[in-house]
């Protein structure tokens, strides 16, 4: 049940979601990790998401599946967004491993997704380099 509520929170967050709403789900000393960040503390987690809203247009999570066993949950999600000044909507899938404490608050949220193919390959100059590397590996 706690993972379901956490999933609903992620589907509902936006640029105007206040820190006090994040505090309902994250422990003050929670850790957050993804391919770009590794932070500790509610304030720092909040800043990661604020930064996401500054850098991307219309970022949104859709929860596709939740598997929960006691205090650990795996949440499969789809993330949609647009790069600033672009009209095309992008999306990719990922999985989060979430650990809850005895108060049902998140103490660890760790995201797993492929940054190379989901973001880097969509950036013009970087995509050429990644495609070159992939061809070399596959030769």
- pLDDT for the residue 139: 61
State the DSSP string of 29-53.
Answer: EEEEE-SS-EEESHHHHHHHHHHHH
Contact, 42 vs 23, CB < 8 A? Answer: yes
Count of domains forming the chain: 1
* pLDDT, mean of each 10-residue run, the chain (139 residues): 94 96 98 94 97 93 97 96 87 94 97 66 50 55
- pLDDT for the residue 114: 74
Q: With respect to residue 119, please indicate whether it lies within any of the assigned structural domains.
A: no
Question: What does the DSSP 8-state code read for residue 25?
Answer: T
- pLDDT for the residue 126: 46
Q: With respect to residue 135, please indicate whether it lies within any of the assigned structural domains.
A: no
Give the Cα separation of 112 and 75 in Å (integer).
Answer: 10
Q: With respect to residue 138, please indicate whether it lies within any of the assigned structural domains.
A: no
- pLDDT for the residue 29: 98
What SS3 class is residue 123? coil
Q: With respect to residue 23, please indicate whether it lies within any of the assigned structural domains.
A: yes
Q: With respect to residue 45, please indicate whether it lies within any of the assigned structural domains.
A: yes
Q: Please give the residue range of the domain that contains residue 20.
A: 2-114
Read off the CATH number of the domain in which 56 is found: 3.10.450.50
- pLDDT for the residue 118: 47
Main-chain dihedrals φ then ψ at residue 99, nearest 5 degrees: -115, 130
Q: With respect to residue 128, please indicate whether it lies within any of the assigned structural domains.
A: no
Residue 35 makes CB contacts below 8 A (sequence gap 6+) with 111, 113, 115
Give the Cα separation of 49 and 107 in Å (integer).
Answer: 17
């Amino acid at each position: 049940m706690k993972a379901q509520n956490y999933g609903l929170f992620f589907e509902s967050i936006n640029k105007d979601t206040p820190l006090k709403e994040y505090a309902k789900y994250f422990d003050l000393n929670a850790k957050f990790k993804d391919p770009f960040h590794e932070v500790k503390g509610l304030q720092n987690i909040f800043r990661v998401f604020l930064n996401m809203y500054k850098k991307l247009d219309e970022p949104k999570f859709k929860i596709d599946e939740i598997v929960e066993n006691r205090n650990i949950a795996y949440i499969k999600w789809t993330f949609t967004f647009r790069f600033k000044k672009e009209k095309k909507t992008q999306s990719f899938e990922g999985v989060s491993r979430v650990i809850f404490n005895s108060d049902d608050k998140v103490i660890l949220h760790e995201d797993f997704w492929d940054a190379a193919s989901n973001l880097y390959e969509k950036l013009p100059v970087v995509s050429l380099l990644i495609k070159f590397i992939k061809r070399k590996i596959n030769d």
